[in-house]
Amino acid sequence: MRADWIIREQGFDRERIAKNGNKFMIGNGYMGYRGTLEEFTREELTAVTLAGLYDRVGDKWREPVNAPNGLYTVIEYEGVPLGVLSPGASIVEHEQELDISRAVHRRRTVFAVGDGPGAPRVTVWAERFCSAERLSLIAAKVSVRSSADGELVIRTGIDGEVWDINGPHLEGLAGSESEGSLLLSGVTRELKVPVAVAETAVPDYDGPAAWEQTPAAVADQAVATDSLCREIRLTCRAGETYTFYKYAAVVTGLDGAGDASEAALRLSRDAAGCGYEELLQEHAAKWAEKWRRADVVIEGDAEAQLALRYSLYHLLIVAPGHSEKLSIPARGLSGQVYKGAVFWDTEMFMLPFFLYTQPAAARNLMMYRVHTLEGARRKAAEYGYEGAFYAWESQETGDDACTLFNVNDVFTGRPMRTYFRDKQIHISADVACGIWQYYEFTGDGSILLEGGAEAMWECARFFYSYAYFNPAKQRYELLDVTGPDEYHERVNNNAFTNAMVKRTLRVALAALEFLQAHDPDQYDSLIKRGAAILPEHIADMHDRLYVPQPDGESRVIEQFDRYFTLEDVSLPELKSRVLHTNEYWGGGNGLATTTQILKQADVVLMLHLFKDQYDLETKRANWEYYEPRTEHGSSLSSCIYALVAADIGSSEWAYPYFMRTATIDLTGESKQYVGDLYIGGTHPAANGGAWMAAVLGFAGLRFDGEIVSIAPSLPPKWEAVEFPLILRGKSFKVRVTLKAVTVEAAESNDDALPFRIGNKHTVLAPGQKLKVEL
Amino acid sequence: MRADWIIREQGFDRERIAKNGNKFMIGNGYMGYRGTLEEFTREELTAVTLAGLYDRVGDKWREPVNAPNGLYTVIEYEGVPLGVLSPGASIVEHEQELDISRAVHRRRTVFAVGDGPGAPRVTVWAERFCSAERLSLIAAKVSVRSSADGELVIRTGIDGEVWDINGPHLEGLAGSESEGSLLLSGVTRELKVPVAVAETAVPDYDGPAAWEQTPAAVADQAVATDSLCREIRLTCRAGETYTFYKYAAVVTGLDGAGDASEAALRLSRDAAGCGYEELLQEHAAKWAEKWRRADVVIEGDAEAQLALRYSLYHLLIVAPGHSEKLSIPARGLSGQVYKGAVFWDTEMFMLPFFLYTQPAAARNLMMYRVHTLEGARRKAAEYGYEGAFYAWESQETGDDACTLFNVNDVFTGRPMRTYFRDKQIHISADVACGIWQYYEFTGDGSILLEGGAEAMWECARFFYSYAYFNPAKQRYELLDVTGPDEYHERVNNNAFTNAMVKRTLRVALAALEFLQAHDPDQYDSLIKRGAAILPEHIADMHDRLYVPQPDGESRVIEQFDRYFTLEDVSLPELKSRVLHTNEYWGGGNGLATTTQILKQADVVLMLHLFKDQYDLETKRANWEYYEPRTEHGSSLSSCIYALVAADIGSSEWAYPYFMRTATIDLTGESKQYVGDLYIGGTHPAANGGAWMAAVLGFAGLRFDGEIVSIAPSLPPKWEAVEFPLILRGKSFKVRVTLKAVTVEAAESNDDALPFRIGNKHTVLAPGQKLKVEL
């Protein structure tokens, strides 16, 4: 364990419970386990959030299901419960840490039981991980030692009282015990999906203090219960450490593992049979491999190094490595905030990291969109459009989980109509371009044949049906949309949106051509299905779609039609008009709505995505124009300002934005409320943005599907940055210093790949190493 | 003077001062004089509102200029001022009345001066009129009589301290006196237009109480002053009446009368020379002629008769008979509310009355739009469109006086962005169709040659540049508009708007054809000027413009795209959600915005305007659907529901709506505030609506430019309704009873005109009388 891979906090602060739940969370893509303590329950936001399993209670929002907590444990010493919130025990020492090299969580607390200096000290240690090898498994090691002899009662089992925003989601919860293993299972309310948690606890000590287990009120018979614990009584001796292990397995009806309860019991017992240390070892091996593919080494800036690694950690614990029906929710697996929904965050801010380093995970992310195509078709039809209008907030079916009233007005308490769901049409472009990008990065055309081309084509058809032709100006336009800057809803010709849609039309035609060549039958049936909108229509729209261009004088691109006519107020001035801390700045009457103040990068995001289409002067002019007008009310904003600043060679402008995005989940200082809505949790998009800022920004990496280019602009104190790449199935290692770029192609590569480094063009054959002085 | 032409209130109620200012107002189209008392000043909203003269102070709204009040008079008895608000004199009797047959205002007040039953009683009478013959002139007769001898001081002159919302508007106010006449003059702040008021006071009594005049601090020399009064002292004898006359003339630099001060003095003295009774006689003769052309006689319903006549009275006092550069503001000449601006109210709700009864006034109203074409062009260009986008709030130049922030949010005090100005594009259709209607009704093509055709063509070009073509649906659409129902801003394909625009395109092409035939040079230069949009473009848009049609099942026409998806809440339920009496129901977060509740007739207005295009079933279905969903938050709503109810033969549904529109200014119970904005005043559009409901609705009159049709649906208690008509220069008298329709063509008519009465078609030759039994 290396110290620079450890996140640690000393001392206990009640105020930080919710934040630390995010900060210290672990996960494995199948589930996330919040960084809560063993004795915590619902009130402290304990949650085992399951990826891809959603439920609805009554008419409340659908949201992910949190499984019962198989690690729940409270230890009593001489009748006094040892918990950081227990009144009878005082905290002498407390620390909580996360080993991000292996995704292992630890806590250690020293309690004083009773008053005075002579009061016995009891130390509790606990360690846990969500196995990267066995995705259903959470394993824990718990130890206790007292400074004086005494009676211990360990109450441990499965707690069904977990955090729920709109729950509880499991009905018919029943517990049972057999052969020392506990089982708690129920079914989701809406779709009746079984969810089972089995737990096996195993002692690891000898001596007189025997393991005396008393399951409370359960036997082989299933008994209705919310929680299920056994009590273990033992007499401890001063100075001796008593350890036990817990093997909790979570299985749902979606896992395809047969009967969920049986499978959970089997997995729990198998794990117990294997033993904690071996499980940890296989887990750690997986993590070593993850880091080998993903780690970015920064030399000369320890603070940036830790923040960036911590960001990558968060991407790695939520990446769906095992299923192409999952993507990554906006708050990862840190709970139910934002309905556990997948947003454009994935394609725009996380996908690049996976595309450059883990193509298999990238494929899963994009296949998720293919699998949710029907939901997108339903949404388009609901609004009277053709094709696929992807959900703004997507769950397992692709139907839009986004409501029409998203924020409450803090002044009247009334729900406020917002247009996230209706008008952020760019989501379909983000998806279509994401699929094509996956194909370009990997050369893996199977995604196109397995539904990717169809999804892209449906997005193009959607845009054609959404678009209008301006007869006076003889051009297509995109009206009544909301771009990334959500403070300005329902605008016309948002530059970002129009540019993305134009790209979508182009790549959809290319995908269609691919399909025609490789699967003519599928091509024919696609064309037949949407006969009213044919490739020639899409091509015409592509050629005549209006995309706002830089002003001839100022080079500034107008964010949308008539944006420049809005009040040009300064951000401090606008802030001085705020009447209520949590008031929403957008919507019908929002403070920013009638001004030029934007929520987040919008034109500047376009300059990043279309960086080869704009000259340096244009990028600089727009960065300088929009940057002081940006509130950064979204965590997606900073990384984009960092990227474009690096692109124009201003790494000193970029660096603070990079640090802001890279530390967002370390400091936990992001926006926690919009209106009266809690939006806390982790920020995988900002984490992905940190990777982008470091690698695509400072190191200046770019792959356009054919050529890898590297044009670095390192922050002054960075001596070097080093990272791995996988492009079109070929592996490379890149090292960028202030003076040179070195690229090393793996021996095992099947072919060469062209590179452009600075002004030097070259083709890197397998095993070749190239160093270019800057 | 007939009693059934008198509006009267007895007793004085301080709370009714503002309302009575509206209710008892007089006017002559050149100016309006509010129904205030002689001793009132600024605080009581005294105003002499001038038609067509606007001014702006600082960055406040432009608004009409109120002239100094030439009738200001306070009489003192034994040192005690006799005023309804004076503390020293108590009111024994008070009455205020309006003779609507001649537009003469009267007040009579008996004051007790001092305490006890023996205190002297002093009676003050005053009568006034704005001369219908001499438009600059206001004449008044004031009398006083005391029950005991005593000393009287009459302080009378010109008060510059008149009501102003955003004033004061006159600078450099200076007073002078010469030969017993007073003169107060100044210039407007913005455009420096001279405004002068001259007043001559003449006594009408003999005896020992001599007319002893002491102008206060003025001589021949002009002296800076806000107000200018002389004092007249006389010793009065018990029981004797002392009368004097005031002749006030108002002249502005817009009148083309040379030096305004000189002209005002001359006019005032001329009037004095003529004498009050003769002036009153010539005035009354004019009014007799007005009523001869306009009066609608209702038999069997005295209440309705008075209300309808009172409504017509309000139209007659504001009609611009003398100038084609004036139209009628939304609040008439009752003050500065709504900026004294002209809205669609004129074309849609007032124009029909004038078209059917006073074509010359109708021509002036429409020529006002021709004269303001340049302003409409500037507005279109400001938004990036071609042609003419008429002002939502139009003043003398046609530039839009409407602000972008029209209402204050009562919860935050912040101005609220509204889209009246930007999105109510139907105004250009209302104008274009109004001009064409004038041509159709009169056959007077001069209006087309003198700019009318050009204005219509520019409206059509505007719509073409505003419209979009939907490529997927192969039709033109009108997006992002606000229809009459202002609670739903920025909607797509508002049925009313699309139907009006389609008509506009048709009549603009017809007008262009007329121009080509009668003034080919003007035609050529028009076509050349707007070469990018040619008649074939307009014709194509006309043929392929989408107009929402009745649902196949329910026959209901959707007010705009996706209206039916809005919350279908009942009006009482919505009202129960109100948190603040004056909160605005529309705008970004308004209560009605996300529901199906509408402010005013919208689809139903379309059914009235296009009544020959929809069958009875459709009209009934839509009336029944929309009526319970209409808040009638606009005074323009009731008359339309009355009209369509009468059209479908449901006069019992129509009658309460007719009474509501006809009594609006009698009861004064209309909405007085929107947000924190005062919107009180008279309602000429509702007055015009009352005429429409009675004549076009109950009597079922309709002229389509060729045939006059009459299909009555009288309220049960109406025994008969009788009214005059002038169509294509031919005069008719129509009498409708429950059993028959009688039409009489004037002997002097130049030709016959076809009529369809019930199912009978006939052609009525000059002098012919026709009676059709129903």
* ∠ CA B668-B669-B675, rounded to 5°: 110
Query: A with B: how many residue pairs have Cβ under 8 Å apart?
Result: 84
Q: Would an 8 Å CB–CB cutoff place B467 in contact with chain A?
A: yes
Beta strands at A31-33 and A48-55: parallel, antiparallel or unpaired: antiparallel
**Per-residue DSSP letter, A353:** H
> What is the per-residue pLDDT across A374-424, written as a single tens digit (0 to 9) for each?
999 999 999 999 999 999 999 999 999 999 998 899 999 999 999 999 999
> Residue A386's CB: how many other CB atoms inside 10 A?
20
From the list A176, A432, A351, A463, the residue with the least C-alpha distance to A703 is A351
Q: Would you call B568 helix, strand, or coil by DSSP?
A: coil
Rounded Cα–Cα distance for residues A393 and B233 (Å): 84
- In the chain, the amino acid numbered A670 is S
What's the count of helices (H) and strands (E) in chain B, helices before strands? 22, 34
Q: Which A residues 571-630 touch B at CB under 8 Å?
A: 577, 579, 587-590, 593-594
Q: What is the pLDDT of residue A379?
A: 98
Beta strands at B241-252 and B170-178: parallel, antiparallel or unpaired: unpaired
> What is the per-residue pLDDT across A742-772, written as a single tens digit (0 to 9) for each?
999 999 999 999 999 988 999 999 999 999 9
Q: Please, which pLDDT band fits residue A223 given cuts at 50, 70 and 90?
A: confident
B411 token code pair: 């919860």
Rounded Cα–Cα distance for residues A435 and A457 (Å): 11
* pLDDT over threshold 70, residue A213: no
Q: Would an 8 Å CB–CB cutoff place A337 in contact with chain B?
A: no
Beta strands at A170-178 and B405-408: parallel, antiparallel or unpaired: unpaired
Q: What is the pLDDT of residue B406?
A: 87
Is residue A616 packed enough to be buried (19+ CB in 10 Å), middle (13-18) or exposed (0-12)? exposed
Q: What is the pLDDT of residue B79?
A: 94
Contacts (Cβ under 8 Å, ≥6 apart) of B691: B296, B308, B311, B312, B315, B352, B353
Rounded Cα–Cα distance for residues A391 and A402 (Å): 8
Which backbone phi and psi does A216 adopt, to 5 degrees?
-85, 110
> Do residues B166 and B61 lie in contact, with contact meaning Cβ atoms separated by under 8 Å?
yes
List C-alpha distances in Å: B728 to A485, A495, B293: 58, 55, 15
Nearest CA in chain B to A583: B412
Q: What is the pLDDT of residue B208?
A: 42
DSSP for A594-630, written as a single string: TBS-BSS-SHHHHHHHTGGGS-HHHHHHHHHHHGGGB
Which backbone phi and psi does A15 adopt, to 5 degrees?
-65, -20
From the list A336, A152, A126, A146, the residue with the least C-alpha distance to A235 is A152
Q: CB B532 to CB A472 under 8 A?
A: yes
Rounded Cα–Cα distance for residues B341 and B427 (Å): 13
Q: Which B residues 381-400 touch A at CB under 8 Å?
A: 384, 386
Contacts (Cβ under 8 Å, ≥6 apart) of A505: A460, A463, A538, A539, A541, A542, A545
Mean pLDDT for the stretch of residues A611-627 = 97
Q: Please, which pLDDT band fits residue A216 given cuts at 50, 70 and 90?
A: low
Residues of A marked active site are found at 486
A584 token code pair: 């929403």
Q: CB A469 to CB B469 under 8 A?
A: yes
Report the greatest alpha carbon distance in chain A.
93
Q: CB A471 to CB B464 under 8 A?
A: yes
Instruction: Report the residue of A382, A408, A409, A411 to disrupt the B interface, i.e. the one with the largest count of B CBs within 10 Å.
Output: A411
Q: How near does any CA of chain B get to the CA of A520, in Å?
A: 26
* Percent of chain A whose pLDDT exceeds 70: 97
Which backbone phi and psi does A576 adopt, to 5 degrees?
-70, -15
> Do residues A492 and A561 lie in contact, with contact meaning Cβ atoms separated by under 8 Å?
yes
Q: What is the pLDDT of residue B207?
A: 46
Rounded Cα–Cα distance for residues B148 and B115 (Å): 14
From the list A49, A14, A39, the residue with the least C-alpha distance to A681 is A49
Q: How near does any CA of chain B get to the CA of A412, in Å?
A: 7
Return the bridge partners of B401, or none: none
Q: What is the pLDDT of residue B744?
A: 97
Contacts (Cβ under 8 Å, ≥6 apart) of B127: B104, B105, B106, B140, B141, B142
Q: Give residue for tokens 């509010």.
A: B34
Contacts (Cβ under 8 Å, ≥6 apart) of B595: B566, B567, B568, B569, B574
Contacts (Cβ under 8 Å, ≥6 apart) of A520: none
Q: CB A593 to CB B588 under 8 A?
A: yes
**Per-residue DSSP letter, A491:** B
Cis geometry, peptide bond prior to residue A168 (ω within 30 degrees of 0) = yes
A566 token code pair: 């809005």
Mean pLDDT for the stretch of residues A472-485 = 97
Mean pLDDT for the stretch of residues A450-475 = 98
- In the chain, the amino acid numbered B604 is V
* ∠ CA A662-A667-A673, rounded to 5°: 100
Rounded Cα–Cα distance for residues A305 and B103 (Å): 88
Q: Would you call A209 helix, strand, or coil by DSSP?
A: coil
Rounded Cα–Cα distance for residues B540 and B462 (Å): 15
Give, to the nearest 10 degrees, the angle between helix A535-544 and helix A453-466: 60
Q: What is the total residue count of chain A?
A: 774
> What is the per-residue pLDDT across A537-591, written as a single tens digit (0 to 9) for each?
999 999 999 999 999 999 999 999 999 999 999 999 999 999 999 899 999 999 9
Is residue A716 packed enough to be buried (19+ CB in 10 Å), middle (13-18) or exposed (0-12)? exposed
Regions of chain B where pLDDT drops below 50 = 207-209
Contacts (Cβ under 8 Å, ≥6 apart) of B401: B54, B61, B62, B339, B341, B391, B393, B394, B395
Enumerate the residues of chain B whose CB falls inside 8 A of the CB of residue A589. Answer: 409, 412, 414, 416-417, 587-589
**ipTM surpasses cut 0.85:** yes
Q: How near does any CA of chain B get to the CA of A486, in Å?
A: 15
> Do residues A364 and A29 lie in contact, with contact meaning Cβ atoms separated by under 8 Å?
no
* pLDDT over threshold 60, residue A696: yes
Q: CB B471 to CB A467 under 8 A?
A: yes
> What is the per-residue pLDDT across B686-709, written as a single tens digit (0 to 9) for each?
999 999 999 999 999 999 999 999
Nearest CA in chain B to A540: B471
Q: What is the pLDDT of residue A208?
A: 42
Q: Would you call B58 helix, strand, or coil by DSSP?
A: coil
* ∠ CA A451-A455-A460, rounded to 5°: 150
Cis geometry, peptide bond prior to residue A320 (ω within 30 degrees of 0) = no
> Do residues A492 and A477 lie in contact, with contact meaning Cβ atoms separated by under 8 Å?
yes
Contacts (Cβ under 8 Å, ≥6 apart) of B552: none
B672 token code pair: 């007085």
Rounded Cα–Cα distance for residues A107 and A128 (Å): 9
Q: Would you call A376 helix, strand, or coil by DSSP?
A: helix
Of B412, B469, B490, the CB nearest to A490: B490
> What is the per-residue pLDDT across B459-516, written as a single tens digit (0 to 9) for each?
999 999 999 999 999 999 999 999 999 999 999 999 999 999 999 999 999 999 999 9
List C-alpha distances in Å: A690 to A100, A350, B644: 16, 10, 64
Q: Give catalytic status of residue B396 as yes or no.
A: no
From the list A219, A225, A336, A268, the residue with the least C-alpha distance to A70 is A268
Return the bridge partners of A227, or none: A159
DSSP for B658-697, written as a single string: HHHHHTHHHH--S--EETTEE--S--HHHHHHHHIIIIII
